Amino acid sequence: MKRFLVNLSLLAILLCPSLAAAKDLTVGLILVGPYNDKGYSQAQYEGGKYVEEKMPGAKLIYLDKVNPADRPGLTIPQVVDDLVEKGADLIIAGSDDMKDGIREAASLHPDKVFIHVSGDDVLTGKAPANLGNMFSRMEYAKMMAGFSAALTTKTGKIAYLGPLINEETRRLAASAFLGARYAWTRVLGKKAEDLQFKVSWIGFWFNIPGVTTDPAQVAGSFFDGGHDVVISGIDTPEALTVARQKRDQGRDAWAIPYDYVKACEGQGATCIGVPYFNWGPSFLRQAKAVQDGAWKQDFQWDAPAWADINDHDKSPVGFMSGEGMTAENKAKLDAFVADLGAHKINLFAGPLNYQDGTPFLKDGAVASDEQVWSLQQLLQGMEGQSSAK
């Protein structure tokens, strides 16, 4: 009888191959920063824990601080080898700078599924068959950040604390600028030329002493130069820390951190709000596809859940208001978000010029996804470098 039951089980798997794939899944997550950085890496770590919570039998394993400063000499293929040895079925690489390494690792492990967050190898044709790309449309949340900054500033001088310079960081900084300009001109009725928007880059996603510019010093120089709102584009909360120090000195100073939904907690009126990633639903979708044997290579660029951008079971990005957001400004922001969701507003629409004055979008033209994704320069009206060269 026991042998008969075993044979029936084997027959069921042969007749329904999906049963063979429906096993407990182990997700291997590679984080560029500390898992508890109150920023980008913590948001991804909590996304992995969300998969554990929502998928019975799922297990998260991870390695954090995978960057040249914290783990010099360690390569992404080496990290992946270790995760595979520990049983990982799905490997998620969390940062843009892991692109070359995760592509190599995927080629070395063709029986595993790989997701590169923020990459575009699928679009460029460089991805092996078992590597997909995934990101969230943070551009919208950055527009909300810029919009909120413009409503708050008393000086008309907004600063953007940027990480390294690439297509991703240019389009996010540009999105914040477009949101600020819209609020400044269309909501407040002020002249575009009276709004200053300065971008400074530190050289990486977070501070590496001796390698990057110190983000605390950059933030301090912003405030000392008359900027009263700093929007952060880096993974860690230095902009908020410095802004709070300035407020403690009696100055008008606000900040908008980045990445992590709880970044404003305990920061009082210093924090206007935070655009954040909510990786759980996207990670869960990928994990279920792998477990079900239904995963297919693709490029996923997920838009907010416009019915409720702060629905943690649905929306991949959101904007959480802080105590620095007045009730009046919150009502204006809510109307702006509603118009974005209803496609009544498209800020990547012409006329728009690049920073050097060359046309980006002609009057009436709307940017394609490809044009936004691969933004080549900052936009006219923004001060700062468009290229690291």
Q: How far apart are CA 155 and CA 133, in angstroms?
A: 41
Tokens of 208: 């590496």
Q: How far apart are CA 24 and CA 267, in angstroms?
A: 40
In 3D space, the residue among 190, 220, 162 whose CA is nearest the CA of residue 378 turns out to be 162
Q: How far apart are CA 107 and CA 114, in angstroms?
A: 10
Q: Is the pLDDT of residue 11 over 80?
A: no
> What residues pair up with 301 in beta bridges, in sequence order?
135
**Cβ-Cβ contacts under 8 Å for 151 (sequence gap 6 or more):** 183, 187, 188, 329, 332, 333
Alpha helices, H only, the chain: 2-15, 18-21, 40-54, 76-85, 99-108, 121-124, 138-152, 167-182, 215-224, 238-248, 280-291, 327-341, 369-373
Q: How far apart are CA 384 and CA 162, in angstroms?
A: 10
pLDDT of res. 22: 52
Summarised one tens digit per residue, pLDDT across range 330-385 is 999 999 999 999 999 999 999 999 999 999 999 999 999 999 999 999 999 999 99
pLDDT of res. 388: 85
Summarised one tens digit per residue, pLDDT across range 116-157 is 999 999 999 999 999 999 999 999 999 999 999 999 999 999
Is 135 within 8 Å of 300 (Cβ atoms)?
yes
Is 139 within 8 Å of 171 (Cβ atoms)?
yes
Is 29 within 8 Å of 87 (Cβ atoms)?
no
Task: Kindly state the DSSP code that residue 196 receives in the 8-state scheme.
Answer: E
Q: Mean pLDDT across the stretch 306-334?
A: 98
Summarised one tens digit per residue, pLDDT across range 258-272 is 999 999 999 999 999
